A = this chain, B = another copy of it.
Amino acid sequence: MSQADRIYHELERRIRSGELAPGTQIPFEQDLAQSHGCARATANKALARLAREGLIDRRRKAGSFVAQPVIRSAILNVPDMPTVVGSRGQSYGWQLLIGPLQDHPDTGSDADGESWLHWAGVHLADARPFAHELRWIACDTVPEVSTADFATEAPGTWLLRTLPWTQARHRVRAVAPSSAVRRALQVKAGAPCLQLERWTWRSERAVTYARFTFPGDKYDLDEAFAPGPMPARKD
């Protein structure tokens, strides 16, 4: 525990406990350094971290103030399928159902300029259906996909290995699955399912779009972060 961490944790505790109400002014870097017997740069490091995590607002010449609290965001873990299944202590499997087909995820046709390939398959946990996946991959961004074989390996697994450090956007909703998906998942009509969509890109270029469908009773997104600092607000 560094000195900067100590200053950070003391202030974090006093803010989270309500002892320092929103709007309250926090000691200047100079005073904080003096009262803790350290250099100003050390106090600055602690206050910069509090500001980065949204606990305080800092204004030149005015000082630092406890921020107005908001329910900002939560981290929902959305890992890849082998990880999900493995963390439940089950064996992972993959079964390709359809593909590759040539069509576009938005238009459904291959009319426009971009070239996409399209697959469907099922992720298995202990040899039983766990999630249905629809997958599109942009051939322009990932030319290697033309030589890939997704019969024994899911596209997501292959992509993670082939294109590291992509970025993603997610959407979650509840749906009544189509009959094709119901058959693949072996669920009854009317069974509510969780649908997770993921758009992935790399350096401003679309890489892939995936749509996962989980039986409602077999999966839930469970946010994992324990009591602690909220994620950094931005940059």
Contact = CB atoms under 8 A, between A and B. Distances in A.
A69 interface: yes
Contact of A174 (B77, B192, B222): B192
Contacts of A166: 69
Q: Output the residue of A172, A202, A216 with the most chain B CB within 10 A.
A: A172
A54 B68 CA distance: 29
B172 A194 contact: yes
Given A227-B204, A234-B228, A171 B17 contact: no
Category for how many chain A residues contact B? 35 or more
Contacts of A168: 71, 74
A103 to B, nearest CB: 24
Q: 10 smallest A-B Cβ distances: which pairs? A: A231-B231, A192-B192, A174-B216, A173-B220, A69-B164, A174-B174, A174-B192, A174-B194, A172-B221, A170-B223
16 contacts: A16-B165, A18-B164, A21-B164, A68-B164, A70-B79, A73-B224, A75-B75, A75-B231, A76-B76, A76-B170, A172-B220, A174-B192, A174-B195, A194-B194, A204-B227, A231-B231
Interface of A: 15-18, 21-22, 55, 68-80, 83, 160, 163-176, 190-195, 201-204, 214, 216, 219-225, 227-229, 231-232, 234-235
